[in-house]
Structure 1
Amino acid sequence: MSDFGKNLKQLRTEKEYSQEAFAKLIEIHVTNLSKYERDISLPSIEVAQRMAKVLGISIDQLVYGDNKANTEISDNNLLLLFNKTQSLDDKQKSTVIELLEAFLLSASLKKQLSS
């Protein structure tokens, strides 16, 4: 997650948001946004979710940028669960994705903070 600030700044500028405008949209102070972009601090999960929503991307893309996830799942239990989610309706799939994104961001933030 060492590129979080860089990813955030790049995505924000690609959407042509000033720091002030973007901070207002995600309901934080511009000073906090500046700290996130300079990797001085990390946002809460709720703030990261608002950022991703305003930018029209997933939290995963916000955190990891364009790095593609490994598409091979070696854990059979996870593979079985992911395969089962394919039969869900779109709203349920969206809920599963949001839960996974929030959990993974939380785990990543905890790991970063403990380092």
Structure 2
Amino acid sequence: MSFFGKNIKKIRGVKRLSQQAFAEIFDLKRATLGAYEEGRSEPKIDTIIKIANYFSIPIDNLLTSELTVNNLLQFKENLTLESGDTPKETYAKIPCITENTIAQYLEHYNKPAFINDLPEIQLPINPQKKFRAYTVTNLEMANHDSGLYPKDMVIGEFVPNNIIKKLNNGELALTLAKGELILRRLYCTNDSIVLRADHKNVPDKTFSIKEIKEVWKIRYVFFRRVPDFNFSVEDKLSFLEQEFFKLKRGLK
């Protein structure tokens, strides 16, 4: 078993990176990174190489020995813990389409000067990818007490036109088509795109592929309210099991 998991956890601590932020740098899922750190899974060789090269750490050291903070500081100066010398992290700057700018966006979506003038949010996600933020304005993606409500915000990753038909049916996407900006689930049928709301009383909208100007696959959601996180049966059993062991230890 390698020391890879312990070492990347140590690197995160030195760099003050969350699991999500670290995973984004190397196009990993947060759960996958967690599995590496806990020793439940081993990474592919290309992932090891990317991380070793990024932090200028010899692969041998990354895999075969538990690194100390002093080791890490020797490998690369910008891993320093000194606050004055810590390099500023680069966050992705994401243009945000608000209720007040939708009309202008429909007309000027392809003009860089207009996009640069939109409000921006910054997030610790891959700055090399192209994202767009959008403030929800209707109840089309609401279903009873769940789903998206006005003032919630979604973050979409740009999907090139030649990739649209490869998206999984039912993906939540922000689509610009025929003078409309529509947040719905996307379905591909031959040369057409069907946009379907979660609200059952809202009819589908269908467009040909040629009518599609932009598609942004939704990757992140920010709720204006705190969602109702219902525990699953597994969560409840796990909680009860933990409480049982606490009681058992207290009786000893």
* Aligned residue number for residue 39 of structure 1: 39
Distance 1:53 1:12, change over 3 A: farther
Per-residue deviation, residues 14-58 of structure 1 (Å, max 9, x unmatched): 122211111011111111000000000000000111111222312
1:14-33 correspondence to structure 2 within 5 Å: 14-33=14-33
2:12 counterpart of 1:7: no
Q: What is the number of equivalent residue pairs in this alignment?
A: 67
Q: Structure 1 CA distance, aligned partners of 2:67 and 2:29?
A: 27
Q: Structure 1 CA distance, aligned partners of 2:2 and 2:25?
A: 24
> Greater strand percent: which structure?
2
Letter in 1 for 2:58: S
Higher relative contact order (CA 8 A, sep 6+): 1
Identity of aligned residues (%): 37
Letter in 1 for 2:57: I
1:1-115 correspondence to structure 2 within 5 Å: 1-64=1-64, 65-66=66-67
> Greater helix percent: which structure?
1
Distance 1:4 1:39, change over 3 A: same
Q: Structure 2 CA distance, aligned partners of 1:51 and 1:7?
A: 11
Distance 1:6 1:63, change over 3 A: same
SS of equivalent residue, structure 1 residue 40 = coil
* Aligned residue number for residue 195 of structure 2: none
CA contact (8 A) 1:19 1:33 kept: yes
CA contact (8 A) 2:5 2:36 kept: yes
| Larger CA Rg, structure 1 vs 2 | 2
Worse-matched range after superposition: 56-65 or 30-39: 56-65
Structure 1 residue runs without a partner (length 5+): 68-115
> Structure 1: which 4+ aligned runs deviate by more than 3 Å?
none
CA contact (8 A) 2:23 2:33 kept: yes
Q: TM-score, normalised by structure 1?
A: 0.51
Structure 2 residue runs without a partner (length 5+): 69-252
RMSD: 1.9
Q: Structure 2 CA distance, aligned partners of 1:58 and 1:21?
A: 22
Per-residue deviation, residues 51-109 of structure 1 (Å, max 9, x unmatched): 11222312112112349xxxxxxxxxxxxxxxxxxxxxxxxxxxxxxxxxxxxxxxxxx
Q: Structure 1 CA distance, aligned partners of 2:4 and 2:39?
A: 7
